Structure 1
C-alpha cells in the first residue's frame, strides 16, 4: 500500500514548447468556462477546481506570507527535516546547479525552509517571491508542485501553464513528499524548480529517488535509536514483573514482558506520565524513560470501547478517537488508515477483502495487500474492528466528522470509494 505514483508533466518524447502552448490554451479555456482543447491530468484538474472554489485570482501577484528569521528558524527545528538535509543536498544540489534549477525543501505546512542551487535561478525565484520562509501552499500561490504534492500526498511535476497563477507559467517544478518512517507523518516536500525551458521528463523520478534515500536514512537512524532503547529496556522490564513493555515516543516496542510479540503499539496523542487506556490492551500506567515510555498493563479497565469518532475535517490531520467506560484515546491516523476506516464507516455491514481492494485501488485483485493492512489495523486498534467481513464492531457507535465540502474529505486520496 505504500507504492508511489509519479505524476510527471512531460511524457517522454513530447516537445516542451508545443506542450507549453497547448497548456496555455487549456488554461485560458478553463478560466473562461470554455471546453478544454486538450484534457488536463486529473491531479491538475482537481487542483484547479480547488483554486476556483477558493476564488484565487490567476493574475494575482500579491506576496504570499513570509516568516521572519526567528519564525523560520523555529519552523526548521520543528520540521523534523534537518536530519535528512545532508542526504538531500548531497543528492540534488550539484544536479540543480548543472541543470539551472534550485532545490527547495518545504515543511508539512508549505513553508519554504531551505533553498539551494543555481544563483541565477535563485534571483529569478526572488522576483517571484519564491524565497525562504514563504508560504507555498496552494491556498496562497495556487497550483504548484510543492503545494499540490502536500494535498495529493504523491510525487508530482507541474509544468508551465499547469500552474494556476500566470506569474508561474515560466517555471517547471518537480516535488515529492517526504514522510517520517517512524509514524508515517508527512514531514514536508522536496522540490526541484527552474525555468520552464529546462523541463525534463526524468526530473521527477530523480527527486523521488533522492527523497526515498532520505527516508531510508531516517529509518536507519530510528533503528539505531530503538536498539539503544532496547539495551536500556531489558533490565528495566526484568525488575518490573507482570505485563509491561517499553516503547519509544512513536509506539515502536523495544522490549516486552508477558505479552505476545508486537512491533508497534498505537499511543494516544499527547501521551504523558500517569494512567492511560489503549484500545488493544486496556488500562495501563505510563512512566517516562530516556527515549521512550514504560507501559505497565493493569488487569482492570479492560471494558471494550463503545464509541468511535473518525474526524476527517482537517485535510492533513485525520484522527481517530475511541471511547469506552475505561477512558478515551485519540490517535492521529496515517493517510492509508484514514482511507480504510472511512470506507468501513461508510459500510457498517462490512466489506470483503476484494470489495475493500476495489474501494481503495479500483482493482478487486489486491486482496493480499488489503489483508496485510487490515491485520495491522486490527492489532493496533483492538476490539473496534472485526473480520469476515471487515467492519467496525456491531456494538460500537461510529461517528464520522466531515468537512462541509465533500471534495475536502481526505483530498490526498485517489481511492474510488472516496473520490467517486
Structure 2
C-alpha cells in the first residue's frame, strides 16, 4: 500500500514507517520499505546538495520590498483569484494553508488557517523564504518545481526532520505561452489532516489557473490582431505580426504558423528566423512586425548547442552565418532534443514515444511536440526519421554531476545518461 493511502487510514503508523525509512536512508542502510520513487530521487538530489537533514540550509528572507517587486512582476498575480477560489475556503476549514511561490521557490503569498500560519512561521514557511529543494530539501514547493508535476510529501518524506509533522501537496504552474515554469501552488498542514485526494485537488486547481492564463493570452492576441490587420493591408508583401512570445496575430503572403520562435533577446533590425528566413523586425504595441526579406531556409552550416547544464533552465543555441540565436526549451523539448543528440542517426515517432512514454503507440503526441520544435529549429531538424540535419555540428553541455541531468525525465536514455552508462 502506498504510504499516502496508508496515511488516510492510520496517519500515525504511516508517519512512523516513513521515519524509519528516512533514518535508514540517512544512515546509508536499506530499509524494509523503500521510499516512493519520486521521494527517493528527491532525497538523492538533496543528499548531493549537502542540505542539513535536521535544520536545512535556510537562505535569508527576501526584504519586503523585493517580495512586493516579485509579486508585481509575476504572472502569478493574474491567477490569484482562481487559486483562492479553488483552494482557500476548503484549506482553511481543513486546517491547511495555501502557499504560492515563484519559479525559484521563494514564497510570495501565503493564506489560510490562522493557527497553521503560526506553526508555519516556526519553520520559516513565510513570505520571502526560499523553499527550493536546495534550501529545505524535499517539500511540496521545491520538489514539484524540479520534477514538473504535482507531488505530495507526507511526514518524514520531508528530508529535513523539522518538517516531519507536516503534509504538503504542491503542483507546478507553467506559462501556457511558452511552457516556462512560473511558480508552484502548495497546500500544507499538520500531518493528521492529510487526505489522499489533496494532491488531485491541488493539481486540478493549478490546471484551472493555467487555463485562465491561456484565456488572458488569447484576449491580448485578439487586441493585437485588431492592430495588425490594417498594418499588413497597407504594407503588402510577405509579412506577419506576432506578439512578444512569437504567437501569430495576422499573416500576409506567408504560410500561417500558430507560433514562430523569436530569439530570447529579440530587437528591432535585420535578422534570421527559422520560420521566415532573412527578415526585419519592427516593434508594434504588444508585439512585432516581421517582414520577410528572402526565401525561408537555413543560412548555411550551423553549430547547434544544447545546454542542459543548468537546473530548471535549458536552451538550444544555433550559431551560423546569420550569427548566434538562442531559444529556451520546455522540459519536454529539452528531453526530445537530448534523445536526438544521443541518437544522431535519428528516431522515428514510435521510437521517441517508446523512449519518452514507454509506449510506442503515443506517436501522435510525439509528432505534435516535434512540430513545435521545428518552429524554432526549422531546416536544421529533419524528419522520417527525426534527426538533426546532415552537416550540423551538435554539442551538448551536461551538468557537472551527471545525476542532475533532466531530473523530470523518466526516459531510459536519460536515465542511462544520469548513471554514466553508454546511451545506446
* TM-score bucket (shorter structure): over 0.9
- Measured in 2, the distance between the counterparts of 1:111 and 1:61 equals 15
1:252 to 229, 247, 264: 247
What is the match of residue 394 of structure 2? 398
SS of the residue corresponding to residue 353 of structure 2 reads helix
- Measured in 2, the distance between the counterparts of 1:177 and 1:146 equals 8
Q: Where in structure 1 are there 5+ consecutive unaligned residues?
A: 1-6
The answer to whether the 8 Å contact 1:305/1:384 transfers is: no
TM-score, length basis structure 2: 0.94
1:168-215: CA deviation from partner (whole Å, max 9, x where unpaired): 000000000011111111110000000011000001111111111111
What is the match of residue 354 of structure 1? 350
1:68-126: CA deviation from partner (whole Å, max 9, x where unpaired): 11111111122211001111111111111100000000000100000000000000000
| Distance change in 2, residues 1:294/1:406 (3 Å) | same
SS of the residue corresponding to residue 254 of structure 1 reads strand
More RCO (CA 8 Å, sep 6+):
1
Task: Confirm or deny that 1:364 pairs with 2:360.
Answer: yes
- Measured in 2, the distance between the counterparts of 1:141 and 1:205 equals 24
Task: Confirm or deny that 1:386 pairs with 2:378.
Answer: no
| Distance change in 2, residues 1:13/1:172 (3 Å) | closer
Q: CA deviation at 1:268?
A: 0.5
What is the match of residue 416 of structure 1? 412
What is the match of residue 172 of structure 2? 177
- Measured in 2, the distance between the counterparts of 1:353 and 1:300 equals 29
Within 5 Å, which residues of 2 pair with 1:247-396? Answer: 247-299=242-294, 303-396=299-392
Which consecutive segments of 4 or more residues in structure 1 shift more than 4 A?
Answer: 11-14
Q: CA deviation at 1:281?
A: 2.0
The answer to whether the 8 Å contact 2:56/2:137 transfers is: no
- Measured in 2, the distance between the counterparts of 1:329 and 1:123 equals 49
Q: CA deviation at 1:233?
A: 0.1
- Measured in 1, the distance between the counterparts of 2:319 and 2:48 equals 36
The answer to whether the 8 Å contact 1:304/1:383 transfers is: no
- Measured in 1, the distance between the counterparts of 2:359 and 2:123 equals 43
TM-score, length basis structure 1: 0.95
Q: CA deviation at 1:15?
A: 2.4
What is the match of residue 151 of structure 2? 156
- Measured in 1, the distance between the counterparts of 2:286 and 2:216 equals 13
The answer to whether the 8 Å contact 2:58/2:130 transfers is: no
What is the match of residue 168 of structure 1? 163
The answer to whether the 8 Å contact 1:277/1:328 transfers is: no
The answer to whether the 8 Å contact 1:242/1:258 transfers is: yes
| Distance change in 2, residues 1:38/1:84 (3 Å) | same
What is the match of residue 421 of structure 2? none
Segment of structure 1 superposing worse, 357-366 or 287-296: 357-366
| Distance change in 2, residues 1:359/1:10 (3 Å) | same
Q: CA deviation at 1:12?
A: 8.2
- Measured in 1, the distance between the counterparts of 2:131 and 2:111 equals 16
What is the match of residue 32 of structure 1? 27
SS of the residue corresponding to residue 309 of structure 1 reads strand
Within 5 Å, which residues of 2 pair with 1:87-102? Answer: 87-102=82-97
Q: CA deviation at 1:278?
A: 1.0
2:184 to 167, 183, 189: 189
Q: CA deviation at 1:380?
A: 3.5
Task: Confirm or deny that 1:227 pairs with 2:222.
Answer: yes
1:240-285: CA deviation from partner (whole Å, max 9, x where unpaired): 2211110001110000111111100011001111122212322211
Segment of structure 1 superposing worse, 187-196 or 309-318: 309-318
SS of the residue corresponding to residue 145 of structure 1 reads coil
What is the match of residue 18 of structure 1? 13
Count of paired positions: 414
Q: Where in structure 2 are there 5+ consecutive unaligned residues?
A: 417-424
- Measured in 2, the distance between the counterparts of 1:62 and 1:346 equals 36
SS of the residue corresponding to residue 141 of structure 2 reads helix
The answer to whether the 8 Å contact 1:226/1:254 transfers is: yes
